[in-house]
Amino acid sequence: MNNMLIIGQYVPGSSFIHRLDPRTKITIIFFFVFFIFFANSLLSYGILTLFSVGSALATRIKVSYIIKGLTPVWFLILFTFLLHLLVTKDGEVLFRVFTYPIYTGAIIQGTAISLRFFLLILVTSLLTLTTSPIEITDAIENLLHPLKKIKFPVHELALMMSISLRFIPTLLQETEKISKAQASRGVDFKTGPIKERIQAVVPLLVPLFISAFKRAEELAMAMEARGYQGGEGRTKLRELKVGPLDWVALLCFILIIVALFVTRK
């Protein structure tokens, strides 16, 4: 039951990556994903690997936990590598598997592309590992602020996201409770053919929706009783602040990018 409540990857901590402003992290990751496609030499890949693995270690999250979070993509990475081995025909024949030739170019390209894919996933997952969902929401609200000019409801979206995040554990618990109640009446969720499993979801969804409606009414009333009146003039409990640490991180990242372009072929 308890481990059902843990959804999402966030690991609280106090490393310097944890303490960075979420906007800094989002900006760096955004540009990392863009610039990684420029790497094309051994040295440039080396620099990016050093940066990614270094950042991952700097979070002081257990390496085994980070690796466990990447399990769904290991298969894809391996698949990409094998596909390149079979398809690419550059360079000399290195050796033969039975009679199928494996080229040196295939090994090099397969490794490079699997590495790039691995680094992409690793760095993007560092954001959700070290930043609480509520911080990410605040950062998104802040970064999207300019869109207010074209009447995009930034505040409303952020409010919806915070409410959603707040209610994930509550609704999960409720789902659990309802499914237990229905199971005690003989509904079977886990086995049987697809058709029966679909039908089993109906008695789960109906009470869930009804309670969502009731909850929404209560929450709306409670918010209005406390004087909620939209985003205008609302103050925040958590203020985002860019500190010296963020400037250091940004500077380091810019140096890495410069180094990437210097070592490029």
Partner 1 sequence: MMQNNKTQSSKLLKLILFALLGTISMLLMFLKFPLPFLPSYLTIDFSDVPALLAALLFSPVAGVIVELVKNLLHLIIGGGEPVGVAANFLAGILFVVPVSVLYHKFKGVKSLVSGLVTGTVVMAIGMGILNYFLILPAYSLFMGMEEMAIPTVKWATVIGGILPFNAIKGVIVGVLFVPVFAKLRPWLEKKRLTLN
Tell me which residues touch partner 1 (CB under 8 A): 7-10, 37, 69, 76, 80, 83, 87, 112-113, 116-117, 120-121, 124-125, 127-129, 133, 136-137, 140, 156-157, 159-161, 163-165, 167-168, 171-172, 175, 194, 197-199, 201-202, 205-206, 208-210, 212-213, 215-217, 219-220, 223-224, 228-230
- State the minimum distance, in angstroms, from the CB of residue 87 to partner 1: 6
3-state secondary structure 233-245: CCCCCCCCCCCHH
- State the minimum distance, in angstroms, from the CB of residue 66 to partner 1: 12
Residue given tokens 């409770």 in the structure block: 177
Q: Are 2 and 224 in contact (CB under 8 A)?
A: no
- State the minimum distance, in angstroms, from the CB of residue 2 to partner 1: 16
Q: Cβ closer to partner 1: 69 or 105?
A: 69
Element (H, E) at 100: strand 100-103
> % helix / strand / coil in the chain, to the nearest 5?
75, 5, 25
Distance CA 180, CA 196 (A): 17
Distance CA 118, CA 52 (A): 10
- State the minimum distance, in angstroms, from the CB of residue 42 to partner 1: 16
- State the minimum distance, in angstroms, from the CB of residue 261 to partner 1: 20
Return the SS3 of 249. helix
User: Helical H runs in 21-132?
Assistant: 22-35, 42-58, 63-69, 71-87, 104-130
Q: Are 158 and 141 in contact (CB under 8 A)?
A: yes
- State the minimum distance, in angstroms, from the CB of residue 33 to partner 1: 9
- State the minimum distance, in angstroms, from the CB of residue 47 to partner 1: 18
**How many CA atoms does the CB half-sphere of 77 hold within 13 Å?**
16
Can you read off the two tokens belonging to residue 223? Answer: 């918010």
Can you read off the two tokens belonging to residue 131? Answer: 């930043």
